[in-house]
Amino acid sequence: MTEDAGYLLANAQAEAGVRFGALASLFDPPTFRHLRGLGLGAGWRCWEVGAGGRSVPRWLAYQVGPAGRVLATDIDVSWMTADDQPDDTVDETADDAAGYEVARHDVGAEPPPAEIFDLVHARLVLVHVPNRDAALRAMVSVVRPGGWLLLEDADPALQPLSCPDEYGPEQRLANHLRRGFRSLLAQRGADLAYGRTLPRLLRAAGLVDVRADAFFPIASPACVQLERATVAQIRARLVANGLATEEDIKQHLANLDDGRLDPTPAPMISAWGRKP
């Protein structure tokens, strides 16, 4: 695989753990709200696709209890077993929950697990998967009749700015770097307008009772943490591709340290549907 191919925000990088912690702080609350709304409870069988870190599979394991099952998969599972992976939003009682199984799996290239689930969930996964249509079909195929599929994905094209309130040079620089980030994502096959398509895609896949909403954090310490970790992961590629200079990046990181910015991630659109 070439330097400019594959997943841009690879789990193998040290900053991935920081990103997972920030993503958990920002997005676990709405994710857990949606899962509770679907009736998740004891005995459910769940497949967490592209789990990345531990927070969602651990929370699912606590909800389904010893009678349930949670399978957590990713192309790189190292952070799901890392002792120092933060779980800031996970209930402390999750340590007493039934465990969950971890397996390496590429949802866009490999067949789905040979079992049926009450719930399949993927967050911030399909937007990055080149063969996302096949991945969606695979997930739908293993949902039991009456079971649920919950997909949550970003839509960077819907709100492309790091700082929507661009009132000064610090904000303009942040937005310049965000444009570079979006360019790198697009080079790797990410669909920057994917999130908005989820309700339509779920209906086209034959699911019913389809609903959706969006979550858009604007000012949070976790937003700053996520921005710092993301810029650290893509720093070399921004410079190598002529999308930013080292001075741009140093200044942006200094602006974050000085509290001059309210960086925002792309809106996360959540869509869910039931298999008839």
pLDDT for 88 beyond 90: no
Identity of residue 160:
P
Q: What is the pLDDT of residue 82?
A: 54
The count of other CB atoms within 10 Å of the CB of residue 74 is 23
From CA 151, how far away is CA 136, in angstroms rounded?
A: 9
pLDDT tens readout for residues 158-177: 999 999 999 999 999 999 99
From residue 274, alpha-carbon distances to 142, 186, 200, 268, 270 in Å are: 12, 31, 14, 20, 14
In 3D space, the residue among 105, 120, 103 whose CA is nearest the CA of residue 46 turns out to be 120
Question: Cα-atom radius of gyration of the chain, to the nearest Å?
Answer: 18
Q: What is the pLDDT of residue 11?
A: 53
| pLDDT above 70: percentage of residues in the chain | 88
222 and 28 Cβ atoms separated by less than 8 Å: no
**What is the band of 8 on the pLDDT scale with cuts at 50, 70, 90?**
low
- Cα torsion 80, 84, 88, 91: sign: positive
pLDDT for 246 beyond 60: yes
Residue 246's Cβ-side half-sphere holds a number of Cα atoms within 13 Å equal to 1
Residue found by looking up tokens 């959540």 in the block: 270
- Mean pLDDT of the region 121-147: 95
**What is the band of 98 on the pLDDT scale with cuts at 50, 70, 90?**
low
Among 2.40.33.10, 3.40.50.1980, 3.40.50.150, 3.40.50.300, what is the CATH number of 15-274? 3.40.50.150
pLDDT tens readout for residues 178-233: 999 999 999 988 899 999 999 999 999 999 999 999 999 998 999 999 999 999 98
- Mean pLDDT of the region 11-35: 85
pTM score of the predicted model: 0.90
Tell me the two tokens of residue 207.
Answer: 């699911």
Q: What is the pLDDT of residue 188?
A: 86
From CA 192, how far away is CA 72, in angstroms rounded?
A: 25
- Mean pLDDT of the region 123-145: 95
Q: What is the pLDDT of residue 52?
A: 87
- Mean pLDDT of the region 139-144: 98
